[in-house]
Chains A and B, each alone.
Chain A
Amino acid sequence: MPEARVPEARVSVEWADRVPIMAPSRLGELWRSLHRGVGALLGAGLLLLMVLSAFLAPVLAPHDPLEAEVTKRLRPPVWTAKGTSEYLLGTDQLGRDVLSRTIYGSRVSLIVGITAVVISGALGVLLGLIAAIQGGRLDALIMRVADVQLAFPFILLAIAVVAVVGGGLLNVILILGVTGWVSYGRVVRSQALSVKEKEYVEAARALGTRSLVLVFRHILPNVMTPVIVLATFNVASYMVAEASLTFLGLGVQPTIPSWGIMLADGREYMRAGWWMAIFPGLALVLTVLSINLLGDWLREYLDPRLRHTE
């Protein structure tokens, strides 16, 4: 496929070159490797904290995230001169507790990040496999659609679609999920193209294995490694994309406590209440950081060649 060479080379800088096909070995080794990397351990810890706070939000949050008390609006955090211990991270323009809203906000990010990755991953793996195995016109069609989608900055495409169909949690998840398949599709296609020529696939085929079994038992498991790495990083990018859309007023409904909404509110009160924009953003940064650290470690773990440079 000479014409596919250049675009693929572009993807490869980030993924394909760096993630060879290699099945993860035993869990024990995985744990030891995780233990060695300080960054990975930090990432895992932070992420665990974030997931816990999403699940335990009703227990952890000191206030109702929607409860507004206008008389207590724009209270600064506890360590400042006018802060009170009732509101550790202060209150917003309606007197809602910033800490509680930040804790609850992790739910939206987590839901969007994970479900959108599952949708785009499933779609991309499926289309990539079809393209690689069917070949011919279907392959050409799928890859041309991918080319067209890559001609748009991701966020711009999402904005254009949201503009027409409207925002809301479900729409945001669907839009991010459906528009995000391209990177998976291309990686899976290029991996599957080489895997399907391997001897063990040929052997299975010679033994009369049905083609569906062949694809799902012999080809799919061997193209999943880069998909897993990509999916890890994408959880973080979708969280940022959702927060960006929401921040621009095009994402999740303002009635749901989310970091994007809090940042949009905070932007209006940068002079009167800097803490409104700082803390939800910090929560987002720490979450994204934890996922990126885990992703880096996962990529290195799956590719020992990288260990000496990073």
Chain B
Amino acid sequence: MWRYLLRRLAQSVAVVFGVLLLVFLIMQLTGDPAALMLPPDSPGADIERARIMYGLDRPLYVQFVRFLVGDIATGGGAGRTVRTFASGGGWLEVPIKPRKGVIRGDFGESLRYREQPALAVVIERFPRSLELMVAAFLYAVVLSLVFGLVCALRQGSLLDQAVRILAILGQSVPSFWLGLLLIIVFSVWLGWLPAMGSGTWWHLVMPAVTLGSLSLARNTRLVRSGMLDALGEDYVRTARAKGLTERLVVAKHALKNIAIPLVTLWGLDIGALFGGAVITESIFAWPGTGRLVIESVTRRDFPVVQAAVFFIALVFVLVNLVVDLIYGWLDPRVRLGR
């Protein structure tokens, strides 16, 4: 088990490093990250100044090292100023922004919230996202287990047919449209639920349903088909033959055997929730990390975009690590690497 754990840990560290490289490289896609930091029509002199200020005039690998570990490894730079030609003639003193590196949580300062570290802006918003994701996850998991089980045990019944059709339909409804639909019906027409914002439990209902419905539909189908498969297995027949109650057969023999695909699916769900949260939070003006990403993209606050993308990927990697460990715990074949 320890070897498996260590191997997975090493793998996760490698992935996080790759994520950082990708987050760094995305900024280079336009060829001029300095121009991205400023309003679209900034004069050349301003761009030049930003380039020096953020150290973007140095070779790419130096920039990446600086991005990772800050100024120590690249021979300081903090507090120094660089003299450069000003476009209007004469000299210009440009102070270089010090960097501590992402290793110490420094993604630079937010351009929108001046003087605030980008990562702090992201982390401040995260609890609200977590609240929404947990609610959506519970909604999806609990209901899918109930629906899936009932359908498998009453295969072919009217309820089974109805749930199956709803599940297929649910997999085809994009979350953002479901969100709009819910707002139109429950806020605009009926006036039962608040359309925007957060604060009370009532605010949580529509965003959680919007975010969780895709997972609910997918999980319901998997629980149903998984249970049907399991109930047809020999070990279930044996369990019945030896006189166990149906409840025990279902709970102890059938359900336990769909635990592995279920845990896998829940891991996938969490990934989908992170992606879906970006959209759901935007629709409902939910003040979480997802909405922050969109706000930062539209206001060109790239340090925050980088920090947010990294942070979400990091949490996602950690969740996957936990899922895989649970996996190893549930299935000995995995942890022994056979």
Contact between B180 and A289, CB atoms less than 8 A apart: no
User: CA separation between A100 and B258, bound complex, in Å?
Assistant: 48
Distance of A114 from chain B, by nearest CB (Å): 18
Distance of A197 from chain B, by nearest CB (Å): 18
Asked whether A30 is an interface residue with its Cβ less than 8 Å from the other chain, the reply is no
Closest-by-CB residue of A relative to B309 is: A160
Contact between A10 and B264, CB atoms less than 8 A apart: yes
Contact between A160 and B305, CB atoms less than 8 A apart: yes
Distance of A41 from chain B, by nearest CB (Å): 14
Question: Which residues of chain A from 151 to 187 have any CB-CB distance to chain B below 8 Å in the complex?
Answer: 151-157, 159-165
* Chain B interface, >50% SS class: helix
Residues of A within 8 A of B320 (CB): 151
What are the interface flags for A221-242 relative to B under an 8 Å C-beta threshold, 1 for contact and 0 otherwise? 0000000000000001000100
Residues of A within 8 A of B312 (CB): 152-153, 156
Counted as pairs of residues, one from A and one from B, with CB atoms less than 8 Å apart, the total is: 160
Residues of A within 8 A of B30 (CB): 164-165
Contact between A270 and B184, CB atoms less than 8 A apart: yes
Question: Which residues of chain A from 189 to 232 have any CB-CB distance to chain B below 8 Å in the complex?
Answer: none
Contact between B327 and A266, CB atoms less than 8 A apart: no
User: CA separation between A32 and B65, bound complex, in Å?
Assistant: 61
Contact between B334 and A6, CB atoms less than 8 A apart: yes
User: CA separation between A288 and B169, bound complex, in Å?
Assistant: 9
Q: Which of A57-65, A82-90, A91-99, A277-285 contacts B (4 or more CB under 8 A)?
A: A277-285
Contact between A5 and B334, CB atoms less than 8 A apart: yes
Residues of A within 8 A of B147 (CB): none
User: CA separation between A157 and B293, bound complex, in Å?
Assistant: 11
Contact between B228 and A153, CB atoms less than 8 A apart: no
Residues of B within 8 A of A236 (CB): 172
Asked whether B177 is an interface residue with its Cβ less than 8 Å from the other chain, the reply is yes
Question: Which residues of chain B from 281 to 338 have any CB-CB distance to chain A below 8 Å in the complex?
Answer: 282-283, 293-294, 297-298, 302, 305, 309, 312-313, 316-317, 320, 324, 327-328, 334, 337-338
Contact between B176 and A309, CB atoms less than 8 A apart: no
Asked whether B242 is an interface residue with its Cβ less than 8 Å from the other chain, the reply is no
Residues of A within 8 A of B174 (CB): 240, 243-244, 281, 284-285, 288
Q: A164: which of B16, B26, B264, B272 is its contact (CB, 8 Å)? A: B26
Residues of B within 8 A of A159 (CB): 278, 293-294, 297
Contact between B297 and A289, CB atoms less than 8 A apart: no
Residues of B within 8 A of A13 (CB): 222, 261, 264-265, 268
Asked whether B7 is an interface residue with its Cβ less than 8 Å from the other chain, the reply is yes
Residues of B within 8 A of A2 (CB): 337-338
Contact between A277 and B14, CB atoms less than 8 A apart: no
Residues of A within 8 A of B181 (CB): 277-278, 281
User: CA separation between A245 and B51, bound complex, in Å?
Assistant: 30
Q: B14: which of A144, A240, A309 is its contact (CB, 8 Å)? A: A144
User: CA separation between A162 and B195, bound complex, in Å?
Assistant: 28
User: CA separation between A173 and B272, bound complex, in Å?
Assistant: 21
Contact A267-B275, Cβ < 8 Å, known A151-B316, A243-B174, A293-B168: no
Contact between B177 and A263, CB atoms less than 8 A apart: yes
Asked whether B50 is an interface residue with its Cβ less than 8 Å from the other chain, the reply is no
Asked whether A103 is an interface residue with its Cβ less than 8 Å from the other chain, the reply is no
Asked whether B173 is an interface residue with its Cβ less than 8 Å from the other chain, the reply is yes
User: CA separation between A6 and B9, bound complex, in Å?
Assistant: 13
User: CA separation between A285 and B170, bound complex, in Å?
Assistant: 9
User: CA separation between A281 and B26, bound complex, in Å?
Assistant: 32
Question: Which residues of chain A from 125 to 166 have any CB-CB distance to chain B below 8 Å in the complex?
Answer: 144-145, 147-149, 151-157, 159-165
Asked whether A301 is an interface residue with its Cβ less than 8 Å from the other chain, the reply is no
Contact between B177 and A165, CB atoms less than 8 A apart: no
Q: B267: which of A10, A157, A247, A288 is its contact (CB, 8 Å)? A: A10
Distance of A238 from chain B, by nearest CB (Å): 12
Contact between B184 and A274, CB atoms less than 8 A apart: yes
Asked whether A54 is an interface residue with its Cβ less than 8 Å from the other chain, the reply is no
Asked whether A23 is an interface residue with its Cβ less than 8 Å from the other chain, the reply is no
User: CA separation between A293 and B195, bound complex, in Å?
Assistant: 32
Asked whether A48 is an interface residue with its Cβ less than 8 Å from the other chain, the reply is no
What are the interface flags for B269-283 relative to A under an 8 Å C-beta threshold, 1 for contact and 0 otherwise? 001101110110011
Contact between B180 and A145, CB atoms less than 8 A apart: no
Contact between A9 and B334, CB atoms less than 8 A apart: yes
Closest-by-CB residue of A relative to B173 is: A285
Q: B172: which of A6, A145, A266, A285 is its contact (CB, 8 Å)? A: A285
Which residues of B line the A interface, CB within 8 A?
7-8, 11, 14-16, 18-19, 21-23, 26-27, 29-30, 36, 168-169, 171-174, 176-177, 180-181, 183-184, 188-189, 195, 222, 225, 228-229, 261, 264-265, 267-268, 271-272, 274-276, 278-279, 282-283, 293-294, 297-298, 302, 305, 309, 312-313, 316-317, 320, 324, 327-328, 334, 337-338
Interchain residue pairs with CB less than 8 A apart (15): A2-B338, A9-B327, A13-B268, A151-B316, A153-B274, A153-B276, A156-B313, A159-B297, A162-B297, A163-B297, A164-B30, A263-B176, A267-B283, A270-B183, A278-B184
